[in-house]
Amino acid sequence: MIRIGIVGFDTSHAVEFTKRINHVDISEDQWVYGAKVIMGYPGGPSSFASEEVIAERTQTLRRFGVKIVDSPEEMIGKIDAVMIEQQEGSSHLAAVKPFLEMGIPSFIDKPLACSVSDAKKIFELAILHNAPVFSSSSLRYALEVQELKSKKDLGEILGAETYSPAILHPKNPGLFNYGIHGVEMLYAIMGAGCETVRCIYREGWDVALGIWRDDRIGTFRGMRRGPHSYGFTAFCERGIVSSSINTQYIYRELLKRVIDMFKTREMPVAPEETIEIIAFIEAALKSANNESREVKLHF
């Protein structure tokens, strides 16, 4: 049984993930197996959640059997894996560093980082200390995306459009905060290989258009007005597939991959692709701030 520690309670994921891993307060069809959350560190003040909300989540996790500690370092030597759940992407390098240095497999909730520089440093630490790292939005593993990827009769995916909410937060600028869900879904469908991005920003939405090195085009629409919905259209050699996303099982599907990585120490997404996603969002932000000019990805 893999013993997991959680760092950061300023996201609902701290509670929702624990429910599914520890099999508490949730239906059996949501359970994942092979691990247990045993320790948690709430984290300090956060602009993502009030002190009252964090205190409430702390009490909930205590009720779930999670031991609350006063510092992340208290977990080292008592856990087999860690989940970094604090929301601010720019804090993730510092948060995960002591665990990677001890060779502890680490899941870092989206975004991995808010800069390519930090993203590369995280993976450099992971390689140096033989400590696998995984970061992903749960939308990568939506059942509808998995079904699309499993189809053999459609041929090559020639292009794709995805959409998701794109709520903004100054600590995770541009698409780093919430738009990353749709960007991750775009990469799940298209794969790596984007070279340039052009992003149009308006108060109610963003549209980011990426050109892949094989001349395929991938587009993401981030919404701040209208429905809080997720979906995609995939343009394939032998058909077009459009689907909205049912989010009922996305946490379960992500956590299956997280726990499998903790067990096998094999990263389910190549570091190069995860870093490219950060580069895509970094380039989209630069484009949006520069009259939607085309920006080359640098990573």
- Where do the domains of the chain lie? 2-137, 139-250+278-296
**3 state SS of 126:** helix
Question: pLDDT tens, 23-82?
Answer: 999 999 999 999 999 999 999 899 999 999 999 999 999 999 999 999 999 999 999 999
pTM value?
0.96
Question: pLDDT tens, 185-214?
Answer: 999 999 999 999 999 999 999 999 999 999
Q: Looking at residue 173, what is its pLDDT?
A: 98
What contacts 3, CB < 8 A, 6 or more positions away?
Answer: 35, 36, 38, 39, 78, 79, 80, 81
Q: Looking at residue 280, what is its pLDDT?
A: 98
**CB 134 within 8 Å of CB 268:** yes
User: Could you give the CA distance from residue 63 to residue 211 in angstroms, rounded to a whole number?
Assistant: 49
User: Could you give the CA distance from residue 151 to residue 266 in angstroms, rounded to a whole number?
Assistant: 25
Question: pLDDT tens, 137-162?
Answer: 999 999 999 999 999 999 999 999 99
Q: Looking at residue 250, what is its pLDDT?
A: 98
- Neighbouring CB atoms inside 10 A of 203's CB total 7
What is 139-250+278-296's CATH number? 3.30.360.10
Helices and strands (DSSP H and E) totals, the chain: 8, 13
User: Could you give the CA distance from residue 88 to residue 9 in angstroms, rounded to a whole number?
Assistant: 12
* CATH superfamily of this structure's domain 2-137: NAD(P)-binding Rossmann-like Domain (3.40.50.720)
What contacts 39, CB < 8 A, 6 or more positions away?
Answer: 3, 4, 5, 6, 66, 67, 68, 69, 74, 75, 78, 79
Q: Looking at residue 84, what is its pLDDT?
A: 98
> 3-state secondary structure string, 223-269?
ECCCCCCCEEEEEECCEEEEEECCHHHHHHHHHHHHHHHHHHCCCCC
pLDDT band at 290 (very low <50, low <70, confident <90, very high): very high
Q: Looking at residue 293, what is its pLDDT?
A: 98
What contacts 152, CB < 8 A, 6 or more positions away?
Answer: none
Q: Looking at residue 187, what is its pLDDT?
A: 98
User: Could you give the CA distance from residue 193 to residue 158 in angstroms, rounded to a whole number?
Assistant: 13
Question: pLDDT tens, 249-265?
Answer: 999 999 999 999 999 99
**CB 218 within 8 Å of CB 186:** yes
Q: Looking at residue 181, what is its pLDDT?
A: 98
